[in-house]
Amino acid sequence: MQNDTATAARFTPRELPYAYDALAPQLSEETLHYHHDKHYVGYVNKLNELVIDTPYAGQPLEDIIMTADGAVYNNAAQAWNHEFYFDQLSPKPQSQPQGALLEAIDRSFGSFDRMKTQMNTAAAGLFGSGWVWLAAKPSGELVVVSSPNAGNPMREGLKPLLCIDVWEHAYYVDYRNRRADAVTALWDRIDWKTVGERYDRK
């Protein structure tokens, strides 16, 4: 998201890094239009309204997430979370983690499959709407974090690496109430090259 401080920190929604139909059949063109154009863009637009003439008007998005509360936090976090989510998906993803990230997954969970199982269980069990994250502690240990509503693990001193959106708007067009099926399908579009680069970034 671009932050134009010359115009009172008006945030500009980012375009998807792929075509709307590029993630089918796991995520349909209709789902991405609703998810990106209506929900994500809606959060950005609402944030722009909320920060005008406030101390947040000149702040970067991540700083707002770390310090705000209420509606400003909710819309800022949802804008950030969605950009992070869309960026980790790819029409031609690297299907397995490699290198330092894979080593960290094996140390923290025992195996890649065990990590996926833990995230699947967390996603299926999160009551209501929210996010499930793979995140890194300052020590390098990886953890799975369930965050209701607009939660973001940066607020807990963790480094986000991967997220699963379990708000109904992320999957209901394609999967109706079958959240577990939606999460299972999502793994086929996770680009572990992107996730690995996030892990490697200090």
Q: Who has greater pLDDT, 7 or 185?
A: 185
pLDDT score of 107: 98
To 10 degrees, what angle do helices 99-109 and 192-200 make?
90
40 in a domain, yes or no? no
Averaged pLDDT for residues 104-108 = 98
Give domain status of residue 123, yes or no.
Answer: yes
pLDDT 10s digits, 128-164: 999 999 999 999 999 999 999 999 999 999 999 999 9
* Contact between residue 159 and residue 52 where contact means Cβ atoms under 8 Å apart: no
Written as six digits, the tokens of 113 are: 């499959």
Q: 194 is in which domain, residue-wise?
A: 99-200
At 18 the pLDDT is: 98
pLDDT of residue 1: 64
Q: Specify if 18 maps to a domain.
A: no
pLDDT tens readout for residues 8-23: 448 999 999 999 999 9
Look at the block and give the residue holding tokens 């379990």: 166
Q: Give residue 85's pLDDT band: very low, low, confident or very high (50, 70, 90).
A: very high
| Number of domains, the chain | 1
Task: Answer whether residue 151 is part of any domain.
Answer: yes
Q: Is 55 a member of any domain?
A: no
Confirm whether 171 is domain-assigned: yes
- Cα 109 from Cα 102, distance rounded (Å): 10
**CATH number of the domain that residue 137 is part of:** 3.55.40.20
User: How far, in Å, CA of 22 to CA of 62, rounded?
Assistant: 29
User: How many other CB atoms are there within 10 angstroms of residue 155's CB atom?
Assistant: 13
CA distances from 48 to 85, 119, 184 (A): 21, 33, 34
Per-residue confidence (pLDDT) for residue 7, from 0 to 100 = 47
Please, how many CA atoms are within 13 Å of residue 62, restricted to the half-sphere of its CB?
Answer: 7
- The Cα–Cα gap between 53 and 34 comes to 30
Q: Average model confidence (pLDDT) for the chain? A: 95
What is the per-residue pLDDT across 159-194, written as a single tens digit (0 to 9) for each? 999 999 999 999 999 999 999 999 999 999 999 999
Give the mean pLDDT of 66-89.
Answer: 98
pLDDT in tens, 114-129: 999 999 999 999 999 9
CA gap 80, 43 in Å, rounded: 9
- pLDDT interval class at 104 (50, 70, 90): very high
φ, ψ for residue 100 (rounded to 5)? -65, -35
What is residue 10's predicted lDDT score, i.e. its pLDDT?
80
Residue 22 within any structural domain of the chain: no
On whether residue 109 sits in a domain, the answer given is: yes
